[in-house]
Amino acid sequence: MAEMTPEEEEALRREVAQAFPGHQGPQLFEQNDLTHIKHVIGVVSGKGGVGKSLVSGLLATELARRGAKVGILDADITGPSIPKMFGLSHERIMADGERQLMIPVTTAGGIQVVSTNLVLDHETDPVLWRGPVLMGVLKQFWEETEWGEIDYLIVDMPPGTGDIALTVYQQVPVDGIVIVTSPQDLVQMVVAKAVNMARQMDIPVLGLIENMSYITCPDCGRKIEVFGPSKVAESAKEYDLDVLAQLPIDPALAAACDEGKIETAAPEGIVDTAVSRIVETCAVLDAAK
């Protein structure tokens, strides 16, 4: 199960060729002159509901706490959940009058956010756009947004390996990705797919984060592995990756996210190793420039 079968690899290649007919080498979206994004980190998962958006929010929050200028591009265009987590449900993206560029909404902690939910009239409106429109939206989020100075742009990717993920990998200068899994995931397959896709696109995988790894018993403090023993360490070893965090099921944090208070509720240090890995990797990239 570890490696992709030749058939799977061929299918992925066909998918890429279909999405980008005649595409030769990386062809990046352009950055406008009011945007200076230094580094881009993608947060990836095999399916929805594993906590990818929560992890994106935590990484952004911790980077901002360390004093970095942080943005979140919510690339889960049909299933955006970043604005709610940061209490931005009632905010809307404004256009710069002169340039007609979108101005991101800023969170209480100073994080710049762009998301479909900040553009739609109502947060509950379903997004019924098809592939080419979705790709257009992504392009706009990158090219026609006045991002300003950003040290780290966290891209909350849509789940899986569809069109948008491919577009991000090919047209956004992603420095690395973090893969989020949960113990219910068929973790080896999910990791295999995500790693193989990233490697085919020459994108470094910074490591794995296992979410909902365990719950701490409120009475005795013992860690209970609700979904059985974790297999993430095995998968990590197989792909020569590090496990950057194992996050507990945390009902208080989930409730705080529902109330838009992730920035105040995120426990200190909860994603420290992952954030340090991001910062160190980006520093190495800077030094090599």
Ligand X SMILES: Nc1ncnc2c1ncn2[C@@H]1O[C@H](COP(=O)(O)OP(=O)(O)O)[C@@H](O)[C@H]1O
Q: Which residues bind ligand X (CB under 6 A)?
A: 45, 48-54, 81, 211-212, 247, 249-251, 253-254, 257
* Pick 51 or 176: Cβ nearer Mg ion: 51
- 117 binds Mg ion per the rule CB under 5 A: no
Task: Report, in Å, the least distance between residue 252 CB and ligand X.
Answer: 9
Question: How far is CA 217 from its chain centroid?
Answer: 30
The phi and psi torsions of 15 (rounded to 5 degrees) equal -60, -45
Residue nearest to Mg ion (CB): 53
User: Whole-angstrom Cα distance, residue 285 to residue 272?
Assistant: 20
- Residues 96, 93: Cα–Cα separation, whole Å: 10
Task: Tell me the window of 4-12, 53-61, 99-107, 166-174 that interacts with Mg ion (CB under 5 A).
Answer: 53-61
| Least Å from the CB of residue 281 to Mg ion | 23
The least distance separating ligand X from the CB of residue 70, rounded to whole angstroms, comes to 17
Q: What are phi and psi of 86, to 5 degrees?
A: -100, 10
In the complex, the smallest distance separating the C-beta of residue 194 from ligand X, rounded to whole angstroms, is: 13
- For residue 81, state whether it binds Mg ion (rule: CB under 5 A): yes
Pull the structure tokens for residue 110. Answer: 């100073």
Based on CB atoms, which residue is closest to ligand X, 18 or 78?
78
- In whole angstroms, what is the distance from residue 147 CA to residue 155 CA? 13
181 touches Mg ion by CB under 5 A? no
Q: At closest approach, how far in Å is the CB of 57 from Mg ion?
A: 9
Secondary structure class of 188 (helix, strand, coil): helix
Least distance from C-beta 284 to ligand X, angstroms?
A: 28
What's CA 285's distance to the chain center, in Å? 20
d(CA 277, CA 215): 25
Residue 247 is encoded by which pair of tokens?
């996050």
Residue 161 interacts, among ligand X, Mg ion, none and using kind-specific CB cut-offs from 5 to 8 Å, with none
The SS3 call for residue 177 is strand
CA atoms within 13 A on the CB side of 16: 19
Site residues for Mg ion, 132-151, by CB under 5 A, read none
211 is an interface residue for Mg ion by CB under 5 A? no
Nearest to Mg ion of 87, 148 (CB atom): 87
Bridge partners (DSSP) listed for residue 94: 103
Our CB check for Mg ion shows the closer of 245 and 282 to be: 245
45 binds Mg ion (CB under 5 A): no
**Which stretches of the chain bind Mg ion, using CB under 5 A?**
53, 76, 81
